[in-house]
Every structure is written in structure tokens, then in C-alpha cells.
Amino acid sequence: MFGLLLVAAETYAWVVLVLDYFQTLWPLNRQPVSMPIPLDQCPSVDLLVPTYNEPLSVVKPTIYAALGIDWPKEKLNVYLLDDGSREEFREFAASVGVNYVVRPTHEHARAGNINHALRTRCRSDFVSIFDCDHVPTRAFLQMTIGWFIKDTKLEMMQTPHHFFSLDPFERNLGCFRRTPNESSLFYGLVQDGNDTWDAAFFCGSCAVLHRTALDEIGGISVETVTEDAHTSLRLHRRGCTSAYILIPQVAGLATESLSAHIGQRILWARGMVQIFRLDNPLFGEGLKWAQRLCYANAMLHFLSGIPRLIFLLAPLAFLLCHAYIIYASALADRHLHAAAYAVYQPDQLAHSGSLAPLLLERGV
């Protein structure tokens, strides 16, 4: 039993490693496309900023930056989606001239909040979604919309999540700006590699989606807690094309506490496992084989805690149960015995049933 568990853990690690190499084999490094049409002919965009219990001081910079995006004002509609129904947010929205949206019920959390706005208020050609603590740059739409005009089959464009504040590990270990954090791996290499295989994921923020494609799949997915990845999976199943530009167009706040950081990762893990169970990318129609592998690897990544526990606890099988879960080959065994003869007397080795107990007895 111990041996089979260890083999399963090693097999998992090997499979994920191979899939990682496949994902990052050829980063596309897509470059922005300049707007091929005059600004007065640009498509209309609904920019959504969903909130729930965040303080107004965090939301204000995002709204101000959204209003300053370089886009025709009559073609840009900013919506503050307040799922907490707070009066101070209503007053702020009225004071700066943005649309304020609340809903009578609060089902499906963030995804339900966005879908309510899409059904009741939004009518533009494109939808852009920002977390309330992600401040967009002035050129965000000009850096992204150009690709939609060049490639009429493109339905989703994602940009990196860039954080200007320290996460708990960077704060406590003092490695900020000296050691890349985990988001640099995903947004700097994995997503760029996914773009090669037309498998760039929607990450919930800093993205632009075509409204018609969203309508075709019924809006943002509500079946899992990671509605962003599930939405992009459903888009790809319908044959939609996605893209990724490795140029940060947003600055956001990282998680402030260790509990919030771990809670966020647990949420991602729960959602990916839910997708893997309910809408497994390895099965079903609509996905290319490369897309299936990229999605599967993203979901398998969040199961890595189980093999790590097996690796850490595997030595206990011998220490506590005296179970030999790894046997050396005949060639390796011969070399070990030859080396042991240089340390132990031949008669001691001959009377020992195994080399390992003897070594442990002598403190080796």
C-alpha cells in the first residue's frame, strides 16, 4: 500500500512536469495591435467594477482610473456593481458620474453580480471587468481592443495581474522585488505559453470579452467558485479564440494577511477541482487536444498538496512499520554490498537479513 501510494505520487509529479514543459514550450509573446480605425469609430465598452464588502477608499482609485481611460467618453460606460447595497457607494457613484447597480437578491456571489448587470443594464459591444482594487492604465483599451478588430474570431483578451503591494510572504521574508512571486510564473510564463495553444484563461479581472460570446454561453459561469476559468473553458468549447498580452495594464493590491492569502488559494483549488469534476476538459466536445492538456494541467496543479504529503510521510513507513517501499536493483545492491564490506566485517554482513537495518543500527 505504501509503495503504491509513492508510485502514484511520483507519477503525478512526472505527469504535471511534462505538461508544464508542454505549456511553456513556446511562449507566444503577442504584441499589441494599434487601433486600425479612428477613435470616433471605436466600439462601445462596458467597464464593470464589482464590489461586495471592500471599503470605499480601495474602490475610488479604480473608478477614477476607469474614467480616465483614453477612449471616447460616449463609447465608455463605467458601472459600479455594489453587492453590498451601501449608501456611501451610491453617493460616490452619483458624484463622479458612473452608473450604480445593485440587485434585489445576492445569489452566486461575484458571478451573479456581474450577470445581473449584463442582463439589466449593459448593452455595449464589449465587456471589461476589473476587480475593485485593480487600477487600470490610461491605455488599457487601446492596447487590447485592436486585436478584436484585427481578428474577428477573437472573443477574449486577458492581460497580467500586476501587484504593487507586498503579499504576506514578501513582507515577512523581505524578498519583495528581489525574488519573483508566484504570480510572475503564471502571468509571465504559463499564460504566455497558453496563448500559443489558444488556451489563455480568463482570470476574472483586467480582461476584455466580446458581449455576443458571453451571451451565447449564458453569461459568467455560476456552477463553480472559480467562475473566471470556467467561463473561459465554456468559451473555448464553443470554438471561441482567446489571447494574452504580457504587458501589465493594471496595478492591484495583493492579499494583506496570511489567512486571506491561504483562503484565496483554497478558493482557487476548490473551484478548479469543481470544474475538473463537473466539466472535465479531457472529455466533452469543442476543445482542441492542446487546450485539453493546458486546462487539465491547470486543474491538476491544485492537487499537488496530496503528493507532497505522501513524499513527506513516506519515510515513516519504514521508521514505524518497517516496510520497505523502495527496493534497489540488483546492480545497485551489488555496489552497496561492496561498499559495506569496506566498513563492516564480512561475517556481520552475511548474518544480516538486510543492509538497511544494519546501517540504521550503526547510526549510518
- Summarize pLDDT for 285-319 with one digit per residue, the tens: 889 999 999 999 999 999 988 999 999 988 888 88
Question: How does pLDDT run across 55-69, given as a tens digit for each residue?
Answer: 999 999 999 999 999
- Please identify which residue in the block is written with the cell numbers 534497489: 328
Q: Determine contact, residues 30/193, Cβ cutoff 8 Å.
A: no
Active-site choice (46, 83, 131, 167): 83
Map residue 151 onto helix, strand or coil: coil
What domains does the chain contain, in order, with CATH numbers?
A: 22-306 (3.90.550.10), 329-364 (no CATH)
279 assigned to active site: no
Structure letter (DSSP) for residue 163: B
DSSP 33-91: ---SS-GGGPPPEEEEEEESS--HHHHHHHHHHHHTSSS-GGGEEEEEEETT--HHHHH
Question: How does pLDDT run across 106-127, given as a tens digit for each residue?
Answer: 889 899 999 999 999 999 999 9
Residue 94's contacts (CB-CB under 8 Å, 6 or more residues apart) are: 100
Active-site choice (46, 131, 192, 228): 228
Residue whose C-alpha is closest to residue 192's, from 152, 242, 155: 242
> Average per-residue pLDDT in the chain?
87
pLDDT given at position 349: 45
Does pLDDT of 136 surpass 50? yes
Structure letter (DSSP) for residue 188: I
20 assigned to active site: no
pTM, full prediction: 0.84
Residue whose C-alpha is closest to residue 159's, from 216, 242, 86: 242
CA distance 242 to 175: 34
Map residue 162 onto helix, strand or coil: coil
